[in-house]
C-alpha cells in the first residue's frame, strides 16, 4: 500500500521535523523573567485620606432623599393584606385592544398574562383597568390590584 501512512509513521515524521527545526526547541528558561518590575513609589504629596461619603438615605434602598410632600409619600407607600394562596394582581398595562396583566403567583414568581392564558389552572376571561377576571370551577372570580 503506497501513498497511505500508518498512524505510527505520521507521528514519527512529525517528531523528526520537530527535532530538525531549532525554532521548535524551547527551553524552560527562555520564557522566564530574569527579574520582575518594581512598582513606582507613591508621591510624597499624595493625599490618602478617604473621600467624604455621600448622604445615605434614611428610607433604605437606593431611593434618594428628596423633598417629598407627606401626601405623596403616604400615597406611594401602601400596606395591604392579601391571601398568599391566591394570585396577586400587580398591575395592568397595554391598550384596550391588547391588555396584559402582571401577577404574583402563590409560589412567588411573577407572570404576564393575556386574555385566554391560564393562571393556576383557571383561564383569564377579562382584563379591566384595575383587575382581571378568571373562571375558577365555572365561577367568575375578580382579582383587583390592591389599593385600587
Query: What pLDDT was estimated at residue 134?
Result: 94
Please enumerate, as own/partner, the contacts of 132-137 that have beta carbons within 8 Å and a separation of 24 or more: 132/89, 132/92, 132/101, 132/103, 134/87
SS3 138: coil
Query: What pLDDT was estimated at residue 16?
Result: 56
Q: How far apart are CA 141 and CA 133, in angstroms?
A: 5
Q: How far apart are CA 96 and CA 30, in angstroms?
A: 74
Tell me the three cell numbers of residue 73.
409619600
Cell 373562571 sits at which residue?
Answer: 135
Helix (H) / strand (E) element for 72: namely helix 70-76
Tell me the three cell numbers of residue 34.
530574569
Walk along the chain (148 residues) in steps of 10 and give the mean pLDDT of each run: 54 55 58 74 77 51 60 71 86 92 92 94 93 91 87
88-144 is a CATH 1.10.10 domain: no
Q: Which positions ≥6 away from 114 have C-beta within 8 Å?
A: 98, 99, 100, 124, 127
Query: What pLDDT was estimated at residue 38?
Result: 79
Listed by start position, the domains of the chain span 88-144
pTM (2 d.p.) = 0.48
Amino acid at each position: 500500500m503506497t501513498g497511505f501512512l500508518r498512524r505510527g509513521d505520521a507521528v514519527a515524521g512529525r517528531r523528526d521535523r520537530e527535532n530538525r527545526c531549532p525554532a521548535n526547541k524551547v527551553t524552560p528558561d527562555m520564557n522566564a523573567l530574569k527579574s520582575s518590575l518594581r512598582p513606582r513609589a507613591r508621591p510624597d504629596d499624595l493625599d490618602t485620606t478617604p473621600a467624604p461619603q455621600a448622604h445615605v438615605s434614611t428610607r433604605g434602598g437606593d431611593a434618594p432623599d428628596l423633598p417629598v410632600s407627606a401626601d405623596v409619600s403616604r400615597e406611594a407607600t401602601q400596606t395591604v393584606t392579601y391571601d398568599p394562596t391566591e394570585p396577586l394582581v400587580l398591575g395592568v398595562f397595554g391598550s384596550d385592544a391588547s391588555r396584559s396583566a402582571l401577577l404574583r403567583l402563590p409560589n412567588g414568581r411573577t407572570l404576564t398574562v393575556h386574555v385566554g392564558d391560564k393562571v393556576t389552572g383557571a383561564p383569564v376571561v377579562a382584563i379591566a383597568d384595575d383587575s382581571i377576571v378568571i373562571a375558577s370551577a365555572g365561577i367568575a372570580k375578580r382579582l383587583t390590584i390592591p389599593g385600587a
